[in-house]
Structures are given as C-alpha cells and as structure tokens.
Chains A and B, each alone.
Chain A
Amino acid sequence: MKGQRWETRPLDCWQLAKELRRSYDNSLADSSIVLGNGTTNFYVDWQVAFPAIVVAEDNPIGAMMAQQNEAFARKARLASEVRGWGREICGYHNNCWGAQFLGRTADGKPFPERQFTVPFPCVCDSHIKRGQQCRDYKPIARWTNDFTMYIGERDEKREEAMLDHRNFNTLKQLNEIESVFGQRLDDGKLFELARNCRLLKQYMTNVSYFMTFTPSPLSVKDLYSFFQLGGLAKIGPEKAVHFWKTLRDEVEWRVQNQIAAVGSERFRWIEAHPPSWHFLKYYRYMEKYGAVCLGSQYTHFSQSQLERKPDGSIGERSYPVYDPDMELTTREDAVRFMTGPDARAPHHFKIDEYLRPYALNEFADVFHADGAMFGLWRSGVGCAVTRKEQAMRLRQAGYSVMCYEGSQPGDRVDLDEKRLIDQLDTWMESLGLEKLEDV
C-alpha cells in the first residue's frame, strides 16, 4: 500500500461483535417477549432484569433501513408523509414508523409492533415525539420520562427537584411494567446491572482515550460497529462487559504496538453527530488521502467523556455520571443510581454545545484532530442544531472545516454523493494532500 506508515490489521473481536449484534436482531423477532419502544438507560440496561421484556428504539432500525433497502425506505417515508408526517422529520423515525404503517420490515417480515412505549423527551425535538408515534397508532401502554436541563454552572440544589421528578417517573414505570405485563422485576439483577455498568463505562472511556493516540487504533467506522453493543442494542450485562473488556484490551495492545486503523494515517479529522448512513463509503474514500475519522462527541459513547486537564493531560470529564460508592439495597436506590447525581446527564454531548460554544474545539484538541467535516442535515433537528456556529468556532481556532448538505438517514437522493466526493477532493487538495495512489 502506498504511503503506509504504520502496521494495520483487522480486529480480532470482529466476530464476537457480529455474533452479539445478530443475537440482538433475533431478539426483536422473538414472539415470546414483550417488545417495547423507547430507551432504557445508557449503561444500566434495566430491561434485562425482567424475564421477557425487550426495549427497542426506532434507532438504529430506521438508520439502517436507508442503507439496506433504499427503495423500501422511500416507501416507508411516503407512508408517513401521507399520514401527516413532515418531510423533514429525521429518517430514524420516518423510516421506522413508516414501516409500521406498511406493516412490514425491509426484508418483508411482519413489522414488530410494540406492546408498550417509553417516550423519553430529549434535547432533540424529533426524539421528543418518537415514542408517541406507536401510541398514537395503537392503544398500547406508555410511560414517559423527562430530560431535565438548564444552562450555567452546576447547581445541585436546583437539581434536587429535577432528580426527584426523573426518579419518580422511572420507578413508576418499572413498577407498572410489572403489573401490566405480569412480569417480576428481579431487583438483585438490577443491582448487578448497576455494578456492571461502572465497568462498562470505564471500558468505553478507555477505548475512547486510546483513540487520542497516533496512529489511532480504531477509526469511526469501527466505533460505529461497536458503540451500539450494550448501548442501544441490548445484549445483557455480562455479554456487554465481556465484549467491551475484550475490545479495550485489544485496542490497548494496538496502541502499545502502534497498530493503526488506517496504515497511512497522516490527517486526523472529526465529525459531529451521525453520518449519512446510506453513504458510509466516504470514510473509505478519505483513507485514500491517509485521512482517518476519529468520530464525534456522538460516537464517543454519547458523552464526549474526555477533556483537557489544567496540567495539559487528557483525562475523563469531571462531571459525575454515576455515584460509584452508592449502596444499593432497594429498587429506588437502583433507580437513583441509574439517573445519577447529575440532572443534566447523560446527554452532555448535546448540552455541551449550548453550555460551551467551544465544546467541539475541545473535542478536536483532545483527539489531536487536523480538521473537521460536518454534515448539515435537512432532516433531524438534533443533528443540525448549533452546527454552523461550531464550524465557525473551529475555523477561528485554526482547524480546517468542510461542510456538506444531506438528509442523514432520510432520503438518500437528498445527498449528492458525487458532489460530496468532489468536495472531499477539493478539501484535501486545498490542504496540500494528494491521493496516495497518485503520489
């Protein structure tokens, strides 16, 4: 390979990741389980403490649809639109719930209808409404929670009522799921989940930290294959911890031995929020220039967990996500643990952009990035909000930033793929980089 500077090789844990993902996909089609829609908790996967409850989001299902079967995704979006949905609604939702209206999935199987929903308002407006869709469609059970936030310095006194609100709603929801579906929540297992989550978070943070090294042991393509496991793709606590430990160990070994994700790495770039899922090939294209994508605050486990410390070192962000010393004896304890002591967690990666206009500058600094490429998404408010201002601030800090337009998981034809490739060439050439095969 021309321009190779580092050794590169596939990850050993790929096979394990694929098996875990397959088991998650199969679990959604299991007729013996009660399928719900919504979120559980990023680290404490409470559904596992029920005998037969699976909670699935419309993401990643909707995200993958445009990539797997664009023709079907278009039909799904049309089915949504004729029923009142806006054209600019995020494709995660338009694709997934359009398939619900059609009654089938992209591979022709019956659409797995939800038996309950847990709408969880979030800083993304599309997400606020997502859990409501299947309840508007059919009279299923629903429980709601809130995403509490404010701007400014942390104010623990102010947060008390917010935390009580969130904890009450989660506790109510778990107790009522027991009554509605006649399934007993195993509190012992819930405590175990909470204990495991500390490890899970630690391993994820470690993997993120290792990507700050040069050469980067992983690229964002790898991260996208993994970051759902134990997160949105629920696989159970033991399996999740085992997988992330395996990955962490392997990535650490790659750093020690300078095994690169992209052997020709000479330009490091970041993104912000999800890519055009139906056109992931641009990552490979950028590798022709020796450019590796390190991801975004979105891919780094939704929390952009690293920060530059006053002494110049890189370390874990100082805000608390969970209280590691908390004693768990009751279900309420477990719920309070899950919510955490910080009323604005766990979506710091979004709040950051409001709280700190320079959040992405810090991200670029921590990951030793040379530039950034931002998708400006016409559908999906949460992925577009603040993006232009962030790009401007990165440029002011000396980073080269390239923006392009598209519709993220929405309509594939909304992204001019050829134009994007042209833009990439121009961007790279403007920075004095040539395709390595041409050098």
Chain B
Amino acid sequence: MNFRQMAADRHTYAADWKARTGGKVADYFEPYFPEEIAYAAGILPVRVLAEHEPDVISDKWIYGACFPARDMINQFLRGRMDYMDGLVNVEGCQWIFNAYEVITNNKPALFRHYLFLPDYTDSTTSKDVLRSELAVFRERLEAWTGRDITDEKLDHAIAVYNENRLLLRRICELRRADRPVLTGSEYMDMLLANQVMDKAEMNGLLEQFLRELEGRQPGRDTIRLMLIGSETWNSDLERLVESLGGNVVVDELDNGTSYFWNPVYPQKDRLMALALRYLGRPHNPVKDNNWRRRPEHIFELAEDYHVDGAIISKQIYCHLHGTDNYAVWRLLRERHIPFHYMERDMSVPEEETALRLEAFLNQVRAGATRLAGWHRKAVL
C-alpha cells in the first residue's frame, strides 16, 4: 500500500473524486474540523497539507509565519488547489488563520466559514457554545449545497468516521509490540493519506493494510521513540530516525494519534455528541488551556508504548508549541524521560539532524546512560 504516494497525489485524487461523484470539496486546516457534518452533506473534506517547495509567492502576503502556513498560500496561489469549492477554518492557530484570510481574500467565490471552537475547552458552557456553532455550520452547509443534513445522514457519517478511527487505532496498537510490524514512517504516511481521502474508501484500504500487517514478521529490535510537537507534513524525520537504528513507535501530534484517539459516542443529540468528541480529544497547545491534560497524555503514551526517549520537534515560529514546551520539558525531566529538542521547517536538514539524532540515540541506547531504560526501572 503506497500511502506516501496517495498523500502526494492528493490534488489529483480530490479533482478525480469531484469528477466521479459530482460532489463538492471543502478543504480545512485544523484537525478540530468536524468532518462528519461536511461528509453528511456529501462534501469531501480534505486536509490542506503543507509541503516543501521553493516559495517566491507567499512573502508578498504574509510575514514571520510558520512555513506550513506560507506553503499553503504558495500552493493555493500556484493553482494547485483549484478543485477546492470551500475552505473552513476552525478557531486555532493564528498563522493558519492568516493563510485562511489570504486564500479567501484571493478567491472570494469560495464558500468560507469560520467555526468557533472554544480555546477554553473545559468550561461548563464550552459544549453548549460548540454545539451552537455546529448547528450554524450545518445550516450554512445546507444552504451552500442545497442538501438537508438529516440525522440519518449524520449517523452514517459518524459511523464511517468512527470506523476510520477504530481502524487507525487498531493499527496504532500494533506499535506497542516489542518489535512492531510497521515502522514510524509507514504509519505517518498512512495518517497523512487518511486525511485527504474519502473515509469510506480509506476504510477499505485500512482493512486491507491491517490484514497485511497481521501477516508480517516482527520488525527489528530498535530504540523506541516518541514524537512530540508541531504537526508534521511528511515522514522524512521518521525515515531518518529509522536509518539511525531507531523507530518512532508513537506520536502525540495533532495530525498523528490525536486525530483519531477518541471516537464520537453516539447520542440522540448528534451535534452534542460531536461537540463532546471534539472538546474531549487530546488537545494541542492552543486548546490545552485550563485543565492541563496534554503533559499527562504525553506521559501516558510514553508509558503505554514503552518509549526509550522522545523527540520534540517544533516548527520554527510555532508560538503555541514554543510556549507549551515548558510544561512538556518539565514533565519529561521530572520523570527522567530523555528527550531531544529540535526546530524544523518544512524540510529536515539531513546531515545536521542525523548527527544530532545519532548523539541522542547513543544517549538512550540501553545501558549507555542512567536515563536509558527509564520505563523498565519501576520497582513495585
């Protein structure tokens, strides 16, 4: 299954899907986008993925932004996303908001919607305000597409997306094994492809992939790492880690495990069920404000997946991770989990990163330092 190619061919896929189904395509940025509602309206939700490309366009429009935000503008202004009929932004990162604003100002004919998802996710009233916003979004989509989004259609969409989450989780669970059957790069390629494809189609591919994985022999015994930090847009870092004798066995990325970690628990009020799902998912820094759940979630993943160490990879100019890292570093240090911190943009400078990662891997290689094997030392 060449998931990497699928993610690379996403523009062609979306254009073909449109031609094949006659449906509309709505792109989105934030993984908090309630895809189920769009899907219920017969829309293909496509995550805008950034890539690495020399850019002489975005500088006119945006300054100081993270590179993914710049590249999204670059791709759009180069006409790569001409198939897009609508663009939705969910309250989140400000650089992405700037990209949303530039794109929609450049193409006023696009259906555009800003969905407010509280940054204060834990308030008693957060679910009510989000439910209200979801109702507004449903109305806007109905007006745009001319289709009713009935409860039955929502039920179907929720079932398709829950199935998708379940399959991704089952594949993720295989990574707990001492010698996982899949590598971190394969896994990340799969997740990225998943975010640009029709979920019903993707579910079929995932089932097939799961069967393939179940028939595989255990992989190499490697240093087990966790990836923390800003969203990733390709699997280059994972590949580099693998070339050095490590394997990313779990991540805490917004477009990684956090994307599928919790399902929608169906209830009579479908929109409330969706509101609770999106407010209850593992949060990224912008949403992890009051009740700080992110550091503990990271620790749980580290324990559950028996990681030897963590890589914290921050996009340059990512203010949210830049401020959240204090709590994450502190937790990792307190619990003696070795970590390597690095900044990156859309590309990974291979030689330099390899050198630093090699030094880090030597540090966590079992027996090399007092930190190595931290998770095996507990005496009960």
A144 near B123: Cβ-Cβ < 8 Å: yes
B116 near A136: Cβ-Cβ < 8 Å: no
B55 at the interface (CB under 8 A from A): no
Which one of A12-20, A119-127, A193-201, A228-236 is at the interface?
A119-127
B330 at the interface (CB under 8 A from A): yes
B286 at the interface (CB under 8 A from A): yes
B205 at the interface (CB under 8 A from A): no
Say whether, besides A386-B101, A389-B102, A89 and B323 are in contact (CB < 8 Å).
yes
Chain B positions within 8 Å of A347 at CB level: none
Interface string of A351-375 (1 = CB under 8 A from B): 0011001000000000000000000
| Nearest 10 A/B pairs, CB to CB | A86-B322, A84-B325, A161-B132, A121-B119, A129-B323, A84-B329, A151-B114, A144-B290, A165-B129, A384-B64
Chain A positions within 8 Å of B318 at CB level: 86
Among residues 50 to 76 in chain B, which have CB atoms less than 8 Å away from a CB atom of chain A?
A: 59-65
B125 near A124: Cβ-Cβ < 8 Å: no
B358 at the interface (CB under 8 A from A): no
B281 at the interface (CB under 8 A from A): no
Task: Report the minimal beta-carbon distance from B102 to chain A, rounded to whole angstroms.
Answer: 6
A59 at the interface (CB under 8 A from B): no
B105 at the interface (CB under 8 A from A): yes
Seen from chain A, the residues whose Cβ lies within 8 Å of a Cβ on chain B are: 80, 83-90, 93, 119, 121, 123-126, 128-130, 132-133, 135-137, 142-152, 155, 158, 160-162, 164-165, 168-169, 172, 353-354, 357, 376-378, 381-382, 384-389, 392
Among residues 276 to 331 in chain B, which have CB atoms less than 8 Å away from a CB atom of chain A?
A: 285-286, 289-290, 292, 314, 316-330
Inter-chain CA distance A129–B126, complex, in Å, is: 18
A-B contact pairs, 19 of them (CB 8 A): A84-B327, A85-B325, A125-B286, A128-B286, A129-B323, A132-B289, A144-B122, A145-B120, A147-B119, A150-B114, A150-B115, A151-B114, A161-B128, A169-B120, A384-B63, A385-B65, A385-B97, A389-B62, A389-B102
Say whether, besides A88-B319, A376-B64, A165 and B326 are in contact (CB < 8 Å).
no
Chain A positions within 8 Å of B94 at CB level: 123-125, 381-382, 385
19 more CB-based (< 8 A) A-B contacts, given A84-B326, A129-B319, A158-B133: A83-B329, A84-B325, A84-B327, A86-B321, A86-B325, A93-B323, A125-B95, A132-B292, A136-B326, A144-B123, A149-B116, A161-B129, A162-B129, A162-B132, A164-B125, A381-B94, A385-B65, A388-B59, A388-B63
Among residues 236 to 252 in chain B, which have CB atoms less than 8 Å away from a CB atom of chain A?
A: none
B258 at the interface (CB under 8 A from A): no
Inter-chain CA distance A42–B51, complex, in Å, is: 41
* Residue from A93, A129, A169 with most neighbouring chain B CB atoms (10 Å): A129
A86 near B323: Cβ-Cβ < 8 Å: yes
B123 near A85: Cβ-Cβ < 8 Å: no
Task: Report the minimal beta-carbon distance from A323 to chain B, rounded to whole angstroms.
Answer: 21
- In chain B, what residue has the closest Cβ to A87? B322
Partner of A151, one of B93, B95, B112, B132: B112
Chain A positions within 8 Å of B184 at CB level: none
B118 at the interface (CB under 8 A from A): yes
Inter-chain CA distance A388–B105, complex, in Å, is: 14
Say whether, besides A125-B320, A128-B320, A168 and B124 are in contact (CB < 8 Å).
yes
Inter-chain CA distance A377–B65, complex, in Å, is: 10
B98 at the interface (CB under 8 A from A): yes
- In chain A, what residue has the closest Cβ to B285? A129
Among residues 248 to 286 in chain B, which have CB atoms less than 8 Å away from a CB atom of chain A?
A: 285-286
B325 near A388: Cβ-Cβ < 8 Å: no
Task: Report the minimal beta-carbon distance from A377 to chain B, rounded to whole angstroms.
Answer: 7
Inter-chain CA distance A119–B327, complex, in Å, is: 16
Partner of A129, one of B61, B316, B320, B328: B320
Inter-chain CA distance A351–B114, complex, in Å, is: 12
Chain A positions within 8 Å of B316 at CB level: 88
B322 near A88: Cβ-Cβ < 8 Å: yes
- In chain A, what residue has the closest Cβ to B119? A121
Chain B positions within 8 Å of A152 at CB level: 114
Inter-chain CA distance A129–B318, complex, in Å, is: 12
Partner of B125, one of A123, A135, A151, A165: A165
Chain A positions within 8 Å of B116 at CB level: 148-150, 162
Say whether, besides A168-B125, A169-B125, A388-B63, A85 and B322 are in contact (CB < 8 Å).
yes
Say whether, besides A126-B319, A132-B323, A376 and B63 are in contact (CB < 8 Å).
yes
Chain B positions within 8 Å of A90 at CB level: 319
B198 at the interface (CB under 8 A from A): no
B348 at the interface (CB under 8 A from A): no
Interface string of B126-137 (1 = CB under 8 A from A): 101101110010
Inter-chain CA distance A318–B347, complex, in Å, is: 47
Task: Report the minimal beta-carbon distance from A173 to chain B, rounded to whole angstroms.
Answer: 10
Chain A positions within 8 Å of B61 at CB level: 388-389, 392
A158 near B136: Cβ-Cβ < 8 Å: yes
Chain A positions within 8 Å of B85 at CB level: none
A164 near B136: Cβ-Cβ < 8 Å: no
Chain A positions within 8 Å of B345 at CB level: none
Partner of A164, one of B93, B129, B289: B129
Chain A positions within 8 Å of B132 at CB level: 158, 160-162
B123 near A165: Cβ-Cβ < 8 Å: yes
Inter-chain CA distance A169–B128, complex, in Å, is: 13
Partner of A378, one of B64, B105, B322: B64
* Residue from A80, A137, A160, A381 with most neighbouring chain B CB atoms (10 Å): A381
B320 near A388: Cβ-Cβ < 8 Å: no
